[in-house]
Amino acid sequence: MAIPYVQECQDAMSRMSGAISAMRSALTEVENNFGDETWRGSLADDLETDFQGVATTLRRELQTAEDNRSACMAKAQRMQAESANPQAN
């Protein structure tokens, strides 16, 4: 009997996508506060600059994680097929 690697991968990817979406929303929420009347002056500008650097890096890493979804799924499919027929290995 095959081990359900594909379903496990799909479940994990779904959870990961939800977490990535929540992180992107949080980044946007913080960015929406920059320039607000309470966020003015050189300290606010410095904070915004620093935050944008971190946010850019984080968004790039989050995209990389999402881009790896197809590789994860292909590996899960291969492992599931191998588990269904262990003698062929």
pTM: 0.73
CA neighbor of 62 nearest in space, from 23, 14, 15: 23
DSSP at 8: H
How confident is the model over 26-61, as pLDDT tens digits?
999 999 988 877 778 899 899 999 999 999 999 999
Domains of the chain: 5-84 (1.10.287)
* Between 89 and 42, the higher pLDDT residue: 42
DSSP at 3: -
Which residue type, as a one-letter code, is found at position 70?
Answer: S
DSSP at 76: H
